[in-house]
Structure 1
Amino acid sequence: MKVICAGFPKTGTKSLKSALSMLGYSVYDYSENMLYYSDKWKQIMDDGWNSDDFKSMYENIDAVCDAPACYFWDEILKAFPDAKVILSTRMTEEEWLISATKQLEVLRNSRILSTAKLLSPTFGRILKAQESLERVVFGLSLKRWGESGCNGTMLRKKYREHNSYVANNAPKGRLLVFHCKEGWKPLCEFLHTSEPDAPFPHENKNGEMLARSSHTDPMMITVKKEIITTGLTAFFSTIIMIFVFLVVLP
């Protein structure tokens, strides 16, 4: 583990993951963590953890970003004390809240995720881990986020407290507070690497990553395969049952 991205979701984490990947780092963000470690993360958030948990999870990974890893950045740092920390931020708390709310609207309206709840065992495990994540990281269920009566004040407070904690407790000289609009220069200087001859990536604007990632994201690929397999199995089982009742039993 070389880099721990401690910024909250919707602070440019997808862009930062893409940038680190372009620099040659292997990166686990939300998708990889939930696909490979959903049961482990649920156990960590429900029952506790130790450094060995994170050592075994990330010993062959260069970087982590997004939730739930961002919230446990200091515990991951104990397992990998030489790692650097990047705190990605938005310009204001309100900008972050608006962006996060838009993302959740996209997720709520996604047909593939609605179908996955019924047909994908992997997505079922992810949802269980997600419930623990919401309770631990945000202190409430995100089912009401964006709806009338949702406590936006508390969510902004969570964001503010997290950023303050990282800024005040990350090792001096090994922390970069970063906004994606700053581009390659501060990131590459911090990591002591050359700037790529390509524009800095800006991913997931207005929550559009879900549609774009359905063919490339490992979690979504697995979920889609399970939807197809389970759906086909149910379809042919139904056909067989109809055949039995109409042809065999009479």
Structure 2
Amino acid sequence: MSHSLPPTHTLACLLYSHFLYSIFVVLLLEVIWNFWKMGIQSENTKLTLKVIGAGYPRTGTYSLKNALQILGYKCYHFEDIFTTPGHAQIWCDYIENKVESGPPLSKLLAGYDAVVDFPHALYYSELRALCPDAAVLLTKRDPELWVNSMTHLLETGNTVRRYKWILKYFLTNQLGQYIVIGDFIHKKAFGEMSRKELVESYNSHNKLLESDPGVTVMDPKEGWQKLCAVLKVDIPDTPYPHLNSKAGLLKMHLMKNIIKCTFFWYILPLCGIILAFYKLF
């Protein structure tokens, strides 16, 4: 004699099985995605930088990165921490005191010709000691224009941190790492500075480097001429890039992660439940 489960038990079993199946698919896709991003990474950690950017964020560092890429350099920027597999975790391990020494700059920047923007610009002295022949570039702009842009960026980061208790339902590991690294850069570079103190810090940093004969000072408005002169390369035919990425970078990460989490952890399981009802009825 065969025994059949009551309809309510059958429904519960179907819902539970499809929910588990959805979770399994999510985890499998996540693993495949991470392996695809990682690829085959070189074990070479030799540092061969030819350009070191020592300028503060919001001084044209993203434009400089793109300009260097046009000239054929492989350039590392803040955003590359999150697009290069494993790099965000290396920074988080250092920030959270899981490693005793400083950030492994040679490992992070191996294979790159140039580096610009924070957090690496905070370590320009160490990088300079490791690559004494590299050109050191200081990007700068009008202090008032800089502080307006920088304040907006810091306020955006503060807003995300303020609402972490809501965003935790959507946070993926990468966005969590973004917040950890952003907090570290904020505290190390600026702490709780007022607007006036931000300008003073900016001017002091620039004045120190401007007095160094081995540093080339650049204003993004100057275009290719000074950059190509110091690197001893021909001026390209294409216009010098004038880009603005950092203002929208955090928002981009936030939206990307919310969409990803909403799909994987809410929409996909809901589809499993709907499929269970469809099979049952």
What's the TM-score once normalised by structure 1's chain length?
0.74
Counterparts of residues 57-72 of structure 1 (less than 5 Å): 57-72=108-123
1:151 matches 2:191: no
Gap change, CA 1:30 and 1:152, over 3 Å in 2 = same
CA distance in 1, matches of 2:94, 2:249: 26
Alignment match of 1:78 (pick from 104, 129, 132): 129
Equivalent pair of 1:35/1:122 in contact (CA under 8 Å): no
Gap change, CA 1:158 and 1:56, over 3 Å in 2 = same
**Rg larger in structure:** 2
1:197 matches 2:258: no
Give the match's secondary structure for 1:30: coil
The residue type paired with residue 155 of structure 1 is: L
Counterparts of residues 174-189 of structure 1 (less than 5 Å): 174-189=214-229
Deviation at 1:223, TM superposition (A): 7.6
Deviation at 1:139, TM superposition (A): 1.4
**Structure 1 equivalent of residue 57 of structure 2:** 9
1:163 matches 2:206: yes
Gap change, CA 1:243 and 1:205, over 3 Å in 2 = closer
Aligned residues: 222
CA distance in 2, matches of 1:204, 1:109: 20
Please tell me the root mean square deviation across aligned C-alpha atoms, in Å: 3.5
Alignment match of 1:99 (pick from 130, 143, 149): 149
CA distance in 1, matches of 2:245, 2:258: 27
**Structure 2 equivalent of residue 87 of structure 1:** 138
Mean Cα deviation higher: 20-29 or 38-47: 38-47
Alignment match of 1:55 (pick from 70, 92, 106): 106
CA distance in 1, matches of 2:137, 2:180: 28
**Structure 2 equivalent of residue 147 of structure 1:** none
Give the match's secondary structure for 1:61: coil
Give the match's secondary structure for 2:62: helix
**Percent of residue pairs bearing the same amino acid type:** 30
Deviation at 1:245, TM superposition (A): 9.5
CA distance in 2, matches of 1:104, 1:242: 43
Deviation at 1:205, TM superposition (A): 8.3
List per-residue Cα deviations over 1:85-118 (Å, max 9, x = no partner): 0000012x212101223445677899xxx99862
CA distance in 2, matches of 1:97, 1:29: 21
CA distance in 2, matches of 1:136, 1:186: 31
Gap change, CA 1:6 and 1:44, over 3 Å in 2 = farther
Give the match's secondary structure for 1:201: coil
List per-residue Cα deviations over 1:116-157 (Å, max 9, x = no partner): 8624321111111111111111113xxxxxxxxx71012112
CA distance in 2, matches of 1:90, 1:192: 24
The residue type paired with residue 158 of structure 1 is: S
Structure 1 runs not aligned, ≥5 long: 141-149, 215-219
What's the TM-score once normalised by structure 2's chain length?
0.67
Equivalent pair of 1:17/1:27 in contact (CA under 8 Å): yes
Deviation at 1:240, TM superposition (A): 3.9
Equivalent pair of 1:120/1:223 in contact (CA under 8 Å): no
The residue type paired with residue 163 of structure 1 is: N
CA distance in 2, matches of 1:237, 1:190: 57
Counterparts of residues 200-219 of structure 1 (less than 5 Å): 200-204=240-244, 207=247, 210=249
Equivalent pair of 1:86/1:176 in contact (CA under 8 Å): yes
List per-residue Cα deviations over 1:27-57 (Å, max 9, x = no partner): 1111002443223234445646458x11121
1:231 matches 2:245: no
